[in-house]
Structure 1
Amino acid sequence: MAQDRAPAAAAAAGTQNAGAKPWLQSYPAGVPAEIDVSVYGSLVELLEESFRKYAQRDAAACMDRRLRFGEIDQMSQALGAWLQAKGLAKGTRVAIMMPNVLQYMVAIAAILRAGYTVVNVNPLYTPRELEHQLKDSGAQAIIVLENFAATLEEVIAKTEVKHVVLASLGDLLGWWRGPLINFAVRHLKKMVPEFRLPLDAGRSVTRFNKALEDGGRMTLKRVELGPNDVAFLQYTGGTTGLSKGATLLHRNVVANILQAEAWFQPMLSQLGGKQLTTVCALPLYHIFALTACYMLGARQGMMNLLIPNPRDIPGFIATLQQYKVNMFPAVNTLFNALANDPAFARLDFSELVISNGGGMAVQQATAEKWLKITGCPVVEGYGLSETAPVATINRLDLKSFNGSIGLPVPSTDIAIRDDAGRDLAIGERGEICIRGPQVMAGYWNKPEETAHVMYADGFFKSGDIGVMDEQGYVRIVDRKKDMILVSGFNVYPTEIEQVVSMHPGVLECAAVGIPDAKSGEAVKLYVVKSDLALAEEDLLAYCSEQLTAYKRPKYIEFRDELPKSNVGKILRRELRSTT
Structure 2
Amino acid sequence: MTTDRPWLAAYPQGVPADIDATRYASLVALMDEAFAKYADRVAYSFMGKDVSYAQTDALSRAFAAYLQGLGLAPGERVAIMLPNVPQYPVVVAAILRAGLVVVNVNPLYTPRELEHQLKDSGAKAIVLIENFATTLEQCLARTPVEHVVLCAMGDQLGLLKGALVNYVVRKVKKMVPAYALPRAVRFNDALAQGTQGTLRKPGIAPDDIALLQYTGGTTGVSKGAVLLHRNVIANVLQTEAWNAPAMEKIPAGEQPTAVCALPLYHIFAFTVNMMLSMRLGGKTILIPNPRDLPAVLKELSKHRFHSFPAVSTLFNGLANHPDFGSVDWTNLRVSLGGGMAVQDAVAKLWLEKTGCPVCEGYGLSETSPSVSCNLVTVTEFTGTIGVPIPGTWMKLLDDEGKEVTQSGQPGEIAIKGPQVMAGYWQRPEETAQAMTADGYFKSGDIGVIDGRGFFKIIDRKKDMVLVSGFNVYPNEVEQVVANCPGVLECAVVGVPDEKTGEAVKLVVVKKSADLTEAQLRAFCHKELTGYKQPKLIEFRTELPKTPVGKILRRELRDKK
Q: For the superposition of Structure 1 and Structure 2, which TM-score range results when normalised by the shorter chain? A: 0.7 to 0.9
Give the counterpart of 2:17 among 4, 14, 33. Answer: 33
Pairing partner for 1:287 from 246, 260, 267 = 267
Q: For 1:436 and 1:145, how far apart are their aligned partners in 2?
A: 35
**2:96 aligned with 1:112, yes or no?**
yes
Aligned partner of 2:332 among 325, 345, 352: 352
Asked if the contact 2:238/2:390 (under 8 Å) is kept, the reply is: yes
2:134 equivalent to 1:157: no
Given that 2:126 and 2:149 are in contact with CA atoms closer than 8 Å, whether structure 1 keeps it comes out as yes
> What is the CA–CA distance in structure 1 between the aligned matches of 2:359 and 2:273, rounded to whole Å?
16
Measured after TM superposition, the shift of residue 379 of structure 1 is 0.2
Pick aligned residue for 1:207 from 186, 193, 197: 186
Q: 2:443 is matched with which residue?
A: 462
Are the structure 2 counterparts of residues 311 and 548 from structure 1 closer, same or farther at C-alpha, using a change threshold of 3 Å?
Answer: closer
* 1:480 to partner: Cα distance: 1.5
Equivalent in 46, 54, 59 of residue 62 of structure 1: 46
How far off its partner does 1:226 sit?
A: 0.4
1:91 aligns with 2:71: no
Find 1:132's aligned residue among 107, 116, 125.
116
Matched to 2:411, the amino acid is G
1:316 to 296, 303, 313: 296
Whole-Å separation in 2 of the counterparts to 1:556 and 1:462: 24
- For residues 354-396 of structure 1, the C-alpha deviation after alignment (integer angstroms, 9 at most, x for no partner) is 1010000000100010001100000000000000000000101
CA pair 159-178 structure 1, distance change in 2 beyond 3 A: same
TM alignment of 1:44-59, pairs within 5 A: 44-59=28-43
Residue aligning to 2:500 = none
Cα distance in 2 for residues equivalent to 1:24 and 1:548: 31
Residues 245/331 of structure 1: CA separation in 2 closer, same or farther (3 Å cut): same
Structure 2 counterpart of 1:329: 309
Contact kept in structure 1, 2:249 and 2:333, CA below 8 Å: no
Q: Report the equivalent of 1:170.
A: 154
Matched, 1:253 2:255: no
For residues 557 and 81 of structure 1, the distance between their equivalents in structure 2, rounded to whole angstroms, comes to: 49
Tell me the distance in 2 between the aligned counterparts of 1:45 and 1:379: 30
SS of equivalent to 2:213: strand
Q: Confirm whether residue 441 of structure 1 aligns to residue 422 of structure 2.
A: yes
* RMSD value, Cα: 2.3
Give the direction of change, closer, same or farther, for the CA distance of 1:39–1:331 in structure 2 (3 Å limit): same
Q: What residue is the counterpart of 1:262 in the other structure?
A: 241
Aligned to 2:524: none
- Tell me the SS of whatever aligns to 2:103: strand
Show the counterpart of 2:87.
Answer: 103
Residues 102 and 332 of structure 1: is their aligned pair in 2 closer, same or farther, counting only changes over 3 Å? Answer: same
**Which whole-Å CA distance do the structure 2 matches of 1:274 and 1:262 have between them?**
19
Tell me which residue corresponds to 1:479.
460
> Structure 1 residue 367 and structure 2 residue 347: aligned?
yes
Task: Tell me the distance in 2 between the aligned counterparts of 1:483 and 1:102.
Answer: 41
Q: Secondary structure at the match of 2:308?
A: coil
State the distance in 2 between where 1:341 and 1:526 align: 37
CA deviations 1:451-473 (Å, max 9, x no partner) are 11100111000111111111111
Q: Give the residue type in structure 2 aligned to 1:448.
A: E
How far residue 238 of structure 1 moved from its aligned partner, in angstroms, is 6.2
User: For the structure 1 residues 101 and 520, does the alpha-carbon distance in structure 2 shift closer, same or farther, using more than 3 Å as the test?
Assistant: farther
Shift of 1:239: 9.6
The 3-state SS of whatever aligns with 1:176 is helix
Report the Cα distance in structure 1 between the residues aligned to 2:187 and 2:559, rounded to whole angstroms: 46
**Farther off after superposition, 463-472 or 399-408:** 463-472
Deviation at residue 267 of structure 1 after TM alignment = 2.1
AA aligned to 2:136 is L
Mapped contact 1:333–1:520 kept (Cα < 8 A): no
| 178 and 557 in structure 1: CA distance in 2 versus 1, 3 angstrom threshold | closer
- 1:427 Cα shift? 2.7
SS of equivalent residue, structure 1 residue 39: coil
Shift, 1:270, TM fit: 2.8
Structure 1 segment 372-451 matched on structure 2, within 5 A: 372-425=352-405, 426-451=407-432
* Paired letter, 1:472: G
Distance 2:439 2:320 in 1: 43
Between the aligned partners of 1:424 and 1:355, the Cα distance in structure 2 is 32
Check whether the contact 1:124–1:548 (CA below 8 A) recurs between aligned residues. Answer: no
CA distance in 2, matches of 1:181, 1:274: 31
Instruction: Check whether the contact 1:525–1:556 (CA below 8 A) recurs between aligned residues.
Output: no
Query: Which whole-Å deviations, capped at 9, do the CAs of 1:237-257 have from their partners, x for residues lacking one?
Result: 169821000000000000000
Q: Residues 372 and 346 from structure 1, CA distance in 2 versus in 1: closer, same or farther, beyond 3 angstroms?
A: farther
Contact 2:297 2:326 in 1 (8 A): no
- Change beyond 3 A, Cα 1:354–1:519: same
CA 1:238/1:333 → structure 2, altered by over 3 Å: closer, same or farther?
Answer: closer
Asked if 2 retains the 8 angstrom alpha-carbon contact of 1:524 and 1:556, the reply is no
Aligned-pair identity in percent equals 54
Aligned to 1:220: 199
**Structure 2 unmatched ranges of 5 or more:** 466-473, 483-487, 498-543
2:213 corresponds to which of 234, 258, 267: 234
Which 4+ runs in 1 deviate beyond 6 A? 522-527, 547-550
Task: Tell me the number of residue pairs that the alignment of Structure 1 and Structure 2 aligns.
Answer: 492
Write the distance in 1 (CA, Å) between the matches of 2:327 and 2:19. Answer: 37
Contact between 1:135 and 1:160, CA under 8 Å: does it hold in 2? yes
The reply to whether residue 82 of structure 1 matches residue 66 of structure 2 is: yes
Q: CA deviation at 1:421?
A: 1.8
State the TM-score, normalized to the length of structure 1.
0.81
For the structure 1 residues 286 and 557, does the alpha-carbon distance in structure 2 shift closer, same or farther, using more than 3 Å as the test?
Answer: closer
Structure 1 unpaired stretches of 5+: 1-15, 485-511, 528-543, 559-579
